[in-house]
Amino acid sequence: MNTATSDKPNVQASLKTWLRYLEHIHPTTIELGLERVSLVAQRLDILKPAPFVFTVAGTNGKGTTCRTLEMILLSAGYRVGVYSSPHLLRYTERVRINNQELPDIEHIKAFDQIEHARQDISLSYFEYSTLAALLMFKQANLDIVILEVGLGGRLDATNIVNADVAVITSIALDHTDFLGNTRESIGYEKAGIFKQHCTAIVGEPDTPSSIIKYAKEKQVQLHCCQPNKGGDWQYKLVNHQSWNFKSLKDTYENLPVPQIPLANAATALAAISYSKLDVSINSIHQGLAITQLTGRFQIISENPLIIIDVAHNPHAAKYLNSQLQKVIQNRNNIKKVRIVIGMLKDKDIKSTIAALKADCWYCASLYGERGATAEEIAVNINPSVTTILTFPSVKAAWEQAKTDADENDIIVVCGSFYTVSDILGIAKNDEQ
């Protein structure tokens, strides 16, 4: 399905106009498959966007693993491009070149080139976004590109590029409508990023057999973390300031603890260790010391302590809760935990909520067809052990939580990228 020619933006149109156009030119929001997007990429000659490519898939931890790779490789002096999704505040967050977002006009020019190249081929918003990123990377003459997989792996638009190192961070149940409802089926889809004879890194400690099988079929050099059977790399937290890493190739001790999940930092380090890239121990230290990512256990205020986290499935919620418990133990004076939550209705709301502990829940309705109502969220919370409030919007829930909170309380915002995005937008406006 194509929009009439007269409705097509041109290079003089705004980025907002282009994005609105991209949202409506394809009949479905998500369409897995590589044939259409590959053909357009071939026409644009962007299937090899840089001499070296990392592709990162997984249920959780993709963004922070990509960020760790980015910071270490930049510290090592490489020219690096990163493609990630979704964005939180600005579409331009999706593409970084040497840790900088590009101006709107660069995205607009890329969209315009794709529009001419695609001819009668219909592309989804994500496919368009992916092609634009690859095009900008190719034009920037980078050394390394890091691609975060959008959904799954095997049929995701990013998989048109052959990765030199393919990374899987974790495997849990999410996007089951598209990827299957077992860890084995999801593992198979994630392993689809493995290309013939590539190097593959798996940070999942309980790797599904489907991943092992797929790796053997593709004859990849597979490196799984311990405690997997045959796992050949490992990491250990020494104390709150340092950790150690060991692979068949490298041993690093007394590394700085980054402000992200350690498992993801270790997975990134394993990818570098087995990549054959020239990276010094000093670059690793420098990169880890500055690695952090917006919306991942991010503290935006003290007294009350306010934490935002994009956790939106049970696996991520369990990690969020474990970090919260550490904060509570270390501070001693915490009175109440107040959670502001908004979720999409196609997520496992019940299990996600079960992984979290709060004294008061502020359930918010999310807009759009996929958004769950506050009532749909609240029904999954046990009313006998906590206070449950419902609100028509994230903003309303947030304002009430701030009104109710004592300076020794914790406010946690979680459940969706959309929820966190709303709060970041409000917080930014409050600063102005």
Instruction: Say if residue 261 is in the same domain as residue 381.
Output: no
Number of domain units in the chain: 2
The Cα–Cα gap between 125 and 30 comes to 8
Q: Are residues 42 and 123 in the same domain?
A: yes
Query: Do 71 and 144 contact (CB within 8 A), yes or no?
Result: no
Domain boundary pick from 241, 271, 289: 289
Q: Tell me the C-alpha distance between 90 and 3, whole Å.
A: 25
pLDDT of amino acid 344: 94
Say if residue 220 is in the same domain as residue 360: no
Per-residue tokens: 301: 């205020």
List phi, psi (to 5°) of 199.
Answer: -95, 130
The verdict on 326 and 267 lying in the same domain is no
Chunk the chain into consecutive blocks of 10 residues (it has 432) and report each block's average pLDDT, rounded to whole numbers.
59 94 74 85 97 95 96 98 94 97 97 94 92 98 96 88 96 65 87 94 95 94 95 94 95 94 96 96 97 90 92 93 91 90 94 95 92 96 89 96 94 95 83 57
Distance CA 59, CA 152 (A): 8
Look at residues 258, 289, 320 and tell me which one is the last residue of a structural domain. Answer: 289
Same domain, 111 and 170: yes
Please state the pTM of the whole predicted model: 0.90
Q: Are residue 245 and residue 302 in the same domain, yes or no?
A: no
DSSP 11: T
Q: 322 and 245 in one domain?
A: no
Q: Are residues 103 and 43 in the same domain?
A: yes
Instruction: Check: CB of residue 415 under 8 Å from CB of residue 386.
Output: no
pLDDT of residue 355: 95
Q: In this structure, what CATH number is given to the domain that contains residue 147?
A: 3.40.1190.10
What's the 3-state SS for 229-274?
CCCCEEEEEEECCEEEEEECCCEEEEEECCCCCHHHHHHHHHHHHC
- Which of 271, 289, 307 terminates a domain? The answer is 289
244 token code pair: 């150690």
Both 304 and 406 in a single domain?
yes
Name the token pair of 267: 């997975």
CATH number at residue 391: 3.90.190.20
Co-location of 168 and 245 in the same domain: yes
Residue 158 near residue 38 (C-beta atoms within 8 A)? no
Residues 319, 171 share a domain: no
Q: Is 20 helix (H, G, I), strand (E, B) or coil?
A: helix
> For residues 429 and 432, what is the distance between their CA atoms, to the nearest angstrom?
5
Q: Dihedral, CA atoms, 28, 34, 36, 42, nearest 10 degrees?
A: 150
- Taking the C-alpha atoms of 224, 228, 232 and 233 in order, what is their torsion angle to the nearest 10 degrees? 80
Range of the domain at 409: 298-431
Tokens 């409802």 correspond to what residue?
181
Same domain, 131 and 280: yes
Q: What is the largest CA-CA distance in the chain?
A: 63
- Angle, alpha carbons 65-66-69 (nearest 5°): 90
